A = this chain, B = another copy of it.
């Protein structure tokens, strides 16, 4: 590969000038950044590079915050459940929370803003029947129903930014002050945020890119009495709440939110919950506020001739990069952490910014860069995982974080990243902004649709969860597959129907969740629209518990399309005749190992002999297909990410759309390899996703095949 430069951001630090120059040259970096715990010294800032500087809007200004404690951010919290054993019951509502993080709000009228709920009957306890002891943080309920469970939903002030708290506690920062989050919705805070930025821009003339980390409201992150994480939702609007926000909401929407509209039984409307109308209204209300306020800051940055970059995380709530208001902010760029293909696409697909940047792993921190460890392992895994997605839609820049001096001590790592940076630029320049060949257009259907593109099935950002990995694999698979992917909500279909150009709809997730859809499936217009779509030739792929809500004698409301349903125990009296899997089927043509369905799904049975049973074991179906008019339904019991499962999903998509004869175009037979074609630039790439050498048959756009050998992780670029 020829040596190229640019599109790479490096962290740097003090007393590291010459090494920084060397690393910039090796990796072709054209931008330098500070990092958590580092500040760029003047000699570094003087280098020929763009300078990024981290900027906190709503924390890190305790001298201001302490003077305006009434403008602290707020949250609604739910107490633990307490069972009444007689007619009087005490609820020490702060139990289980961390008093250094949150403090009950006794400033505003608790009888107005709090709610005591009988969770056994579901009823709200009359305010006359409870009182608060502010000393012990206890609500006492009288006239309680014995052996009912009660909770208190109460407002708190947030005293400590949870990200700083986590770093503070983890790194034993001792006496370092706790950064107090203030709320820019409040008058003094709103003004301060602007004034300070103006001053800061003046004081930091060498900063080219203001790296907002981030804006106003942290994702919901609450700690317990032992300062351990208690609740985390990377999408949660918990920290956006305040009396002022609730009052303004009521004025604007004409109805008041209840505490329960936020608290939601203690689920706090996590992204897995089917959102209520109230919660959607509230989100929209917050998004509009955040966009308006963020624009004010971005405008100030632009007035000073700098760029505004947003970090996708921490205080990102309300920005919703795929939401309708995000482009109005006017950001130049978004930067985010890349955990794999799906998180890369989450960044690179963001509309309305000039460029995107991915922060790759590993972070240059001592947990990876210690003697005896090989940081190349994590780097290679991260790069190969994300590279598939880069081939589809690259971020415009890559970068790293942490202490450059740590990475510098690992020459093999430096070598490896040099290759990565060169390969990234080669990919970027070869694609040159052109659209890759897509054999199919696939819509992921759930409650969130476009708003949470590439964000389905996540709790905390890209962490593994037992209940999610069997679904998250779908996104990871698709992130690098040669299909066009869009995200569609149930509401989109209700309002605008199913877009004409969609080949396949995918619905996946646990029953009742926002991703499967829960009671959305009781909407007969929705169900009919999808049936019509498939009947006329479209594909439907259901994974896990698709269209699941028990009604009318079925659990999967699209069981007629899928040809299967899940036995809940109500239809045990009905004989299940079909238990033999087919020896051969398009979906398993290249499967040599047994299938891996992750957590899988039990008790799936075929409804008719038309159902093609592709995998049957343990007395149940795990893969099936079923004709429905001119289209087909395909069922998969789960799809944890692997190259084999990516292939299984691709086959499912083509088969469901009735386009299985078209799959072998710009295609590699070997599931460890993929072909990406760029008709506009007349180039195509044959990619070995594995670290080992691979042989594969490769098909061109007309389906002509040839045999190719690839070295480990090689990309072979060819002209059409």
Chain A positions near chain B (C-beta within 8 angstroms): 81, 83, 85, 119-122, 145-149, 220, 224, 228-233, 236, 265-268, 270, 272-273, 459, 465-468, 509-513, 524, 527-529, 531-532, 535, 550-554, 557, 560, 567-575, 577, 599, 602-603, 619-620, 629
Contacts and interface: CB of A to CB of B under 8 A. Distances in A.
Nearest to A458: B572
B121 A524 contact: yes
Given A119-B553, A528-B120, A532-B146, A272 B572 contact: yes
Given A85-B629, A147-B532, A512-B550, 13 more contacts: A83-B531, A122-B551, A122-B552, A147-B535, A220-B573, A236-B573, A266-B571, A272-B573, A273-B570, A509-B569, A510-B568, A513-B569, A599-B602
B268 A573 contact: yes
A145 B467 contact: no
B119 A573 contact: no
Contacts of A236: 573
Contacts of A550: 512
Contacts of A229: 575
A584 to B, nearest CB: 26
B603 A467 contact: yes
Contacts of A570: 267, 270, 272-273, 512-513
B149 A267 contact: no
A126 to B, nearest CB: 17
Given A85-B535, A535-B147, A569-B272, A553 B266 contact: yes
Nearest to A224: B575
A459 B528 contact: no
A230 B575 contact: yes
A231 B575 contact: yes
A168 to B, nearest CB: 19
A1 B567 CA distance: 51
A459 B529 CA distance: 37
Contacts of A512: 550, 568-570
Nearest to A80: B608
A87 to B, nearest CB: 13
A147 B535 CA distance: 9
Contact of A81 (B467, B468, B560): B560
Contact of A265 (B228, B233, B552): B552
Contacts of A524: 120-121, 145, 148
Sorted from nearest, which 6 A-B pairs have the closest CB atoms? A265-B553, A147-B528, A147-B531, A510-B569, A233-B573, A119-B552
Given A552-B265, A575-B228, A567 B532 contact: no
B573 A232 contact: yes
Contact of A83 (B121, B554, B560, B603): B560
A273 B572 CA distance: 10
Contacts of A510: 568-569
Contact of A465 (B83, B532, B572): B572
B273 A466 contact: no
A26 B121 CA distance: 65
A364 to B, nearest CB: 28
Given A120-B552, A524-B148, A528-B145, A574 B231 contact: yes
Contacts of A532: 146-147
A236 B571 CA distance: 13
B603 A528 contact: no
A575 B532 CA distance: 42
A146 B533 CA distance: 12
A447 to B, nearest CB: 13
Contacts of A531: 83, 147
A416 to B, nearest CB: 34
Contacts of A81: 560
Contacts of A270: 570-573
Contacts of A574: 230-231, 266
8 contacts: A83-B531, A119-B554, A122-B552, A145-B524, A267-B571, A466-B603, A466-B620, A509-B569
